[in-house]
Homo-oligomer: A and B are copies of this chain.
Amino acid sequence: MSSDPLVVFTPSGKRGHFPVGTPILTAARQLGVDLDSVCGGRGICSKCQITPSYGEFPKHGVTVRDGALSEWNAVEQRYQDKRGLKEGRRLGCQATVQGDVVIDVPPESQVHRQVVRKAATNRTITMDPATHLFYVAVEEPDMHEPTGDLERLQRALKAQWGIGEVTADLSLLAKLQPTLRKGAWKVTVALHKGHNDTSHRIIEIWPGYSEERIYGLAIDLGSTTIAAHLCDLRNGDVKASSGLMNPQIRFGEDLMSRVSYSMMNPGGDREMTAAVRDAINDLTRSIAAEGGIEPRQIVETVFVCNPVMHHLLLGLDPVELGQAPFALATSDSLSLPAREMGLDAMNPRAQVYILPCIAGHVGADCAAVALSEEPGKSEDLVLIVDVGTNAEILLGNVTRVLACSSPTGPAFEGAQISSGQRAAPGAIERIEIDPVTKEPRFRVIGSDKWSDEDGFETDIATTGITGICGSGIIEAVAEMRMAGLLDESGLIGSAEQTGTARCVPEGRTHSYLLHDASETGGPRITVTQGDIRAIQLAKSALYAGARLLMDEMGVDRVDRIVLAGAFGAHISTKHAMVLGMIPDAPLDKVTSAGNAAGTGARIALSNIGARAEIERVVREITKVETAIEPKFQDHFVAANAIPHKTDPFPDLYSVVTLPKVSFNTGGGDDDGSGRRRRRRA
Contact = CB atoms under 8 A, between A and B. Distances in A.
B148 A316 contact: no
Contact of A143 (B178, B319, B326, B358): B326
Given A625-B143, A628-B143, A328 B170 contact: no
A625 B146 contact: yes
A324 B142 CA distance: 9
A151 B325 contact: no
A325 B358 contact: no
Secondary structure class of chain A's binding surface, majority of residues = loop
A319 B180 CA distance: 14
Nearest to A624: B144
A169 interface: yes
A623 B341 contact: no
A664 interface: no
A23 B314 CA distance: 44
Interface stretch (A203-211, A279-287, A329-337, A498-506): A329-337
B150 A329 contact: yes
B360 A143 contact: yes
Interface string A168-185: 111101101110000000
A165 to B, nearest CB: 10
A359 interface: yes
A327 interface: yes
A341 B173 CA distance: 12
A146 B358 contact: yes
A141 interface: yes
Nearest to A331: B148
A173 B141 contact: no
A332 B150 contact: yes
B314 A170 contact: yes
A548 to B, nearest CB: 14
Nearest to A140: B325
B329 A149 contact: yes
A340 B167 CA distance: 15
Interface in A622-642: 623, 625, 628
A327 B170 contact: no
Interface string A126-163: 00000000000000111111111111000000000000
Interface in A270-324: 314-317, 319-320, 324
Contacts of A168: 330
B174 A315 contact: yes
Interface in A597-627: 623, 625
A35 interface: no
Contacts of A314: 170, 173
A329 B153 CA distance: 10
A48 interface: no
A367 interface: no
A476 interface: no
A357 interface: yes
Nearest to A623: B146
Given A142-B325, A146-B360, A625-B146, A151 B331 contact: yes
B173 A330 contact: yes
B174 A316 contact: yes
A177 B262 CA distance: 15
Given A141-B327, A151-B331, A331-B151, A316 B146 contact: no
Nearest to A321: B177
A182 B99 CA distance: 76
A197 to B, nearest CB: 10
Interface in A326-356: 326-332, 336, 340-341
Contacts of A169: 336, 340
A148 B358 contact: no
B336 A148 contact: no
Contact of A329 (B144, B176, B359, B625): B176
B173 A327 contact: no
Given A149-B330, A151-B331, A314-B170, A177 B325 contact: no
A170 B340 contact: yes
Nearest to A199: B197
Contacts of A359: 143, 146
Contacts of A327: 141, 146, 148-149, 177
B625 A177 contact: no
Contacts of A358: 146
A362 to B, nearest CB: 8
Contacts of A325: 140-143, 146
Contacts of A148: 327-332, 357
Contacts of A320: 149, 177
A321 to B, nearest CB: 10
A293 to B, nearest CB: 28
Contact of A149 (B324, B328, B340): B328
Contacts of A178: 317
A365 B388 CA distance: 60
A351 B168 CA distance: 17
B177 A317 contact: yes
A173 B329 contact: yes
A327 B320 CA distance: 52
A146 B625 CA distance: 9
Contacts of A145: 623
B328 A146 contact: yes
Contacts of A143: 324-326, 359-360, 625, 628
Interface in A514-549: none
A402 to B, nearest CB: 13
Contacts of A147: 328, 331
A330 to B, nearest CB: 4
13 contacts: A146-B362, A146-B623, A147-B328, A147-B331, A148-B357, A149-B320, A150-B331, A151-B332, A170-B340, A170-B341, A177-B319, A177-B320, A177-B327
The 4 closest A-B CB pairs, nearest first, are A148-B331, A141-B327, A146-B359, A148-B330
Given A141-B327, A151-B332, A173-B316, 12 more contacts: A140-B325, A141-B360, A143-B360, A144-B623, A146-B331, A149-B330, A151-B330, A168-B330, A170-B314, A170-B315, A170-B340, A173-B314
Interface of A: 140-151, 168-171, 173-174, 176-178, 314-317, 319-320, 324-332, 336, 340-341, 357-360, 362, 623, 625, 628
